[in-house]
Structure formats: structure tokens, C-alpha cells
Amino acid sequence: MDFAMAVDQLVSFESCFEIVSDPRVQGRSFHPLNSVLFLVVAAVISGADGPAEIEDFGKERQDWLEQFIELPCGIPSHDTIGRILSIIKPAEFQKALLAWLSELRRTPDGDSPIVVPIDGKTARGSYTDAEKSNAIHIVSAWASDYGITLGQIAVDSKSNEITAVPQLLDMMELKGTIVTLDAMGCQKAIAKKVIEGGGDFTFAVKDNHQKLAAAIEQAFLDAYEAGLLESGFRSKTVREKGHGREEMRSYCVGSSRNLVADGRFRLVFVHFGDEQSQRTLSGSAGPR
């Protein structure tokens, strides 16, 4: 990256993060908020984990950082970094971060969407009873291309993950994103919220939506019988070798402007895909 491009990205960063309000007492703050936020984001992208490692990153890269931000009192201590992060509004920071990432993806040839997987995980060792009924479940939105978590919400149980997804979407700037969710998140209300926010989505479809899954399966069966090209479907096969195995993956993508999912609603326009894979290990092959 040349210096001119770095300066452009810095200007974009400052513009996007202006929405993050500074709750500190004016006149008694030694470190500009924008400088601290730039340090935090740069350090986390570089692999820093927590305020102490962010401080270490800042000290190691201070000469580089001073080309872009003001550090009138040097690198803030880890205590200061942690305190600032604890008092700013998370929703403002998350919205600013996604807006900045959206700016970074702009290229002369057009915009590349940001893929945002949303998934729930159970924190290991977070339960206290044998049934694990009180384990902590966290639903996260992840900017996978940048290695950054855009937001997290804790829920009481895995079954409540679906209620956290709309809250995460409300916290994010959805324009220019592709939100991906597993079958649990395949809900009309969630799809509507993503579209209204200017984003797109990729949802897994399983038997929790039996009629929709059956309609998509039938569309593939019809296309395979009539011919993929003749049906307007696209396919691609990828072969990979490594670690003593050979794997072949076949992808097929189709679309429909009039796919009837069930009697209550109609998908006006939908893209859907299928993946099949075969792995060869020690001379034996089998589908996955």
C-alpha cells in the first residue's frame, strides 16, 4: 500500500468514526479519541488481543502510527485503552467500524460486498450444572475477510439465538453486505430486515422449512433432468490435493423468479445453490 492510499483510508477512518461520541471530561483528556480508536483497530487487525497487547503494538509501531494520528502524550497505557473502550457506546463503534470496512472494499472496478457470517457458539466451561443448562451462548457477527467481530450478543440458551439476530442486524450498517446464516436463521422477518437495510443474504435451508426445502430440491431435480445450461443453472467443479487426500467439490447455482415455498408466501426472486463433494483417502472414495 502506498502512502497516498494510506492517507485516503485515514481520512475515511476519521469520517466514519466521527459518530463515536467521547464521554470523557473535556480538558482532562490527554489522548484524542480518534487516535485511540485508530490504534485499537490497527492493533486488533494485526492480531492484538486485549488492551495490554494493543499497548505493546502501539509502542512497537509508534513511528508508523505518528504518520497518521496525533500522539501528544505517546501511546496510551493499557489501563487507559481499557477504560476508553468500556465507556464508549458499542453500537456507535460497531456502526462506524462497518462503515469504514465498507469504504475499504471500494475498488476502481466497483464494490465488493462484505461477507458477514452470523453464528452462535456456546462458551466452553461456562456452565455450572451437569445438564449445562446455564451455559453462556453468544451470537456473533463476523467480518470474515477482515478478521474482525462486528458485534456480539449473549443469550440465555441456544434456542434464543434467533431472537438475537435482529438485534445484531439493528446494530450494523447492512448496505453492501452479504449476511450468512445457518438454517436456524432462515426466517422471513430476518430476510426482510436485511433487504430493507440494503444488504443481501445467504441462508441455509433444511427440513425446519420442509416446503421451501422441497421446492428447492425439486428445482434442482428438474434442472438436472432437463440440463443445467438449458435450465439457466451454473455449475463448477473444483479439485484439491493435499495432506494425502484428494477432494472434488461440485457446485451448482440456480435462480427462480417464481418459486412457491408454501401456500402462505411466494419467493419472488431467489438464488439457491447445491454443493456435493467426494474425498479420496488411501485409495478409497466416498461422498460427503
Quick: pLDDT tens for 123-134: 655 455 555 555
Q: Which of 150-154, 155-159, 215-219 has the lowest mean pLDDT?
A: 155-159
The DSSP annotation for 276-288 comes to: EEEEEETTEEEE-
Overall pTM > 0.85: no
What is the residue type of 133?
S
Quick: pLDDT tens for 20-46: 999 988 878 899 999 999 999 999 888
- Whether the pLDDT of residue 275 is over 70: the answer is no
Which range is most confident: 7-11, 57-61, 211-215? 57-61
Which range is most confident: 79-83, 173-177, 202-206, 225-229? 79-83
For the chain, the maximum distance between any two Cα atoms, rounded to a whole number of angstroms, is: 73
The DSSP annotation for 156-193 comes to: SSGGGHHHHHHHHHHHS--TTEEEEE-GGG--HHHHHH
Q: Name the DSSP letter for residue 17.
A: G
Phi–psi pair at 161, nearest 5 degrees:
-60, -35
